[in-house]
């Protein structure tokens, strides 16, 4: 018997094993190098302490974040979460350093880097595009109200984040995190997975430590879903708590900006900086006497004690792995003194239908007003112009259509009976007969539900693949929703949502903080690529 073939086979297997070993070591070393970031997983309090004791300057911190954006977002894993970096960011940092050296601090956000979703106007050298090639080079005439508030608080807007184009309300079978301007944003936990949207880049930038905080926007799910998929905290405020002036709109009734951060405390700090009554957004009038400039006062370790919490059952039963995490979370809340009551439903199906009709009407009205606000130099003058542009562009229509834009264009104005009827029915069904009814019936402080399922594979052919979601009740009612990391399923994060009555951010923050503090489910991403 000739043993040479067996010997050759053994040598080949040994060589393959050695190659696999060194490949694994190389990948691990690469992942570790991304963790060497000096400000990895730092929170606002630690950064402020570093400024105070002279460990680093604001300019040094900003330079470090800019370097990391190049290394990870543009190179390396190529997350593609940032559309544009602010060219004046170092000058801004130097000015804020001078203020701090002179003994002046604008508050906890002084010198803190923030990224804005690129549907939020900034009056600077950066464009505001909504991810659309139609608005490349579009420079708004004014800062958005949110940008003004952040600048006044000393925050540094270091860049604009990629998003699902037009906040994911353009057409069917879209892939969240894709825009015509820069393409697809990747999930930093597993690069082939989807970041969700529409605030995709905002969530990824926070999760991957490319910024301290970010601002996203939500109409229905666009803050909480990407926060879920990227393992961070997201706050979708009560509509009217934060002004939408200077935010490219979908729905006047449901739209709101909100903070995204790695901790509940950082998100609460940011929320306090951007609230306020704005004369150019009538929805904010309702927040008078109901907003706080310091939400950290409501963060209590024992925030779960004595609370009555409703478990929304409708999103359960679709993914047993998600269900297991939810019931683990329920057990924890009970151990901290909360009472959990199961609730089957909150709103009827007609609420979703009416919400969609309202969005179409308000989309047409809001977009046309936004284009007009850009002045005579605006590249697009109307929703009709936008539809025509997309049809003529080689990239915009490559993966999905523009059905929602076309449907919106065919709608009448906001005085139409169809719109007014839908609005009345939606408010009643989502509020009086929805969240308010359920919370009154069971005397609840908050409602919980899984925010979503683990991130799905990005698919430009078939679009997104949602299994679990719970954003609609709060989004359609215009009520607050906070999502916090709940755990992991096969290296992918999943979040839990806390939502409730209008203006109940203080209560929800206390509960969410107590849960976060006791579970500590946040883990930094490792930028994994699945084995072939």
Residues annotated as catalytic are 117, 198, 222
- What is the rounded CA–CA span in Å between residue 257 and residue 276? 13
- What is the rounded CA–CA span in Å between residue 45 and residue 155? 14
The owner of tokens 């949502």 is 497
Q: How many helices (H) and strands (E) does the chain have?
A: 17, 13
The strand ranges marked E within 392-460 are 446-450
- What is the rounded CA–CA span in Å between residue 390 and residue 286? 38
Whether residue 84 contacts residue 49, with contact meaning beta carbons closer than 8 Å, is answered with no
Q: Which of 410, 1, 412, 455 is nearest to 190 (CA)?
A: 455
CA distances from 428 to 346, 374, 454 (A): 12, 35, 33
- What is the rounded CA–CA span in Å between residue 292 and residue 481? 17
Structure token pair of residue 378: 């605006």
C-alpha angle with apex 201: 200 to 203, nearest 5 degrees? 70
The 8-class DSSP code of residue 453 comes to P
- What is the rounded CA–CA span in Å between residue 410 and residue 98? 54
Question: Up-side HSE of residue 494: CA atoms within 13 Å toward CB?
Answer: 26
DSSP characters over 371-434: HHHT-TT-S--SHHHHHHHHHH-TTTTSS---HHHHHHHT---TTSHHHHHHHHHHHIIIIIII
Furthest-apart CA pair in the chain: how many Å? 92
Residue 306: count other Cβ atoms within 10 Å of its Cβ: 11
Q: Which of 114, 102, 111 is nearest to 51 (CA)?
A: 111
Q: Which helix (H) or strand (E) holds 419?
A: helix 417-427
Question: Up-side HSE of residue 391: CA atoms within 13 Å toward CB?
Answer: 9
Note the residue count of the chain.
532
Phi, psi of 312 (to 5 degrees): -75, 110
Q: Which of 376, 399, 43, 329 is nearest to 206 (CA)?
A: 43
Residue 87: count other Cβ atoms within 10 Å of its Cβ: 11
SS3 330: helix
CA distances from 361 to 165, 367, 427 (A): 19, 10, 16
């Amino acid at each position: 018997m000739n043993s040479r073939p067996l010997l050759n086979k053994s040598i080949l297997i040994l060589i393959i094993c050695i190659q696999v070993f060194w490949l694994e070591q190389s990948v691990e070393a690469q992942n570790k190098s991304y963790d060497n970031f000096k400000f990895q997983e730092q929170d606002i309090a630690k950064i402020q302490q570093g400024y105070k004791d002279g460990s680093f300057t604001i300019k040094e911190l900003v330079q470090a974040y800019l370097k990391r954006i190049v290394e990870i977002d543009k190179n390396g894993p190529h997350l593609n979460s940032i559309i544009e970096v602010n060219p004046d960011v170092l000058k801004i940092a130097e000015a804020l350093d001078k203020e701090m050296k002179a003994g002046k601090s604008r508050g906890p956000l002084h010198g803190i880097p923030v990224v804005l979703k690129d549907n939020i106007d900034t009056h600077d050298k950066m464009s505001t595009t909504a991810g659309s090639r139609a608005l490349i080079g579009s420079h708004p005439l004014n800062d958005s109200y949110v940008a003004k508030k952040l600048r006044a608080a000393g925050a540094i807007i270091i860049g604009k984040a990629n998003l699902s184009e037009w906040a994911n309300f353009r057409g069917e079978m879209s892939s969240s995190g894709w825009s015509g301007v820069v393409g697809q944003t990747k999930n930093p936990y597993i690069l082939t997975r989807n970041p969700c949207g529409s605030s995709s880049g905002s969530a990824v930038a926070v999760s991957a430590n490319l910024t301290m905080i970010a601002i996203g926007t939500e109409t229905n799910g666009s803050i909480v879903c990407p926060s879920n998929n990227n393992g961070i905290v997201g706050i979708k405020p009560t509509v009217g708590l934060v002004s939408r002036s200077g935010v490219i709109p979908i729905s006047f009734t449901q739209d709101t900006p909100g903070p995204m951060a790695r901790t509940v405390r950082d998100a609460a700090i940011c929320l306090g900086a951007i609230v306020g009554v704005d004369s150019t957004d009538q929805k904010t009038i309702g927040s008078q006497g109901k907003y706080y400039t310091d939400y950290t006062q409501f963060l209590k370790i024992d925030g779960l004690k004595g609370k009555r919490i409703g478990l929304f059952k409708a999103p359960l039963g679709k993914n047993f792995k998600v269900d297991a995490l939810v019931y683990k979370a329920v057990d924890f809340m009970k151990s901290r003194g909360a009472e959990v009551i199961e609730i089957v439903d909150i709103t009827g199906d007609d609420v979703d239908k009416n919400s969609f009709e309202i969005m179409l009407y308000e989309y047409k009205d809001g977009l046309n007003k936004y284009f007009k606000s850009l002045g005579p130099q605006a590249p697009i003058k109307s929703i009709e112009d936008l539809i025509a542009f997309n049809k003529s562009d080689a990239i915009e229509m490559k993966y999905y259509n523009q059905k929602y834009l076309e449907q919106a264009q065919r709608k009448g104005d906001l005085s139409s009976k169809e719109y007014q009827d839908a609005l009345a029915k939606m408010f009643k069904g989502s509020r009086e007969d929805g969240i308010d009814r359920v919370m009154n019936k069971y005397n609840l402080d908050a409602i919980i539900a899984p925010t979503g399922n683990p991130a799905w594979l990005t698919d430009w052919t078939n679009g997104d693949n949602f299994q679990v979601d719970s954003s609609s009740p709060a989004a359609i009612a215009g009520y607050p929703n906070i999502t916090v990391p709940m755990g992991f399923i096969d290296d992918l994060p999943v979040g839990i949502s806390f939502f409730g009555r209008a203006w109940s951010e203080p209560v929800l923050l206390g509960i969410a903080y107590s849960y976060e503090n006791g579970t500590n489910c946040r883990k930094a991403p490792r930028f994994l690529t699945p084995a072939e």
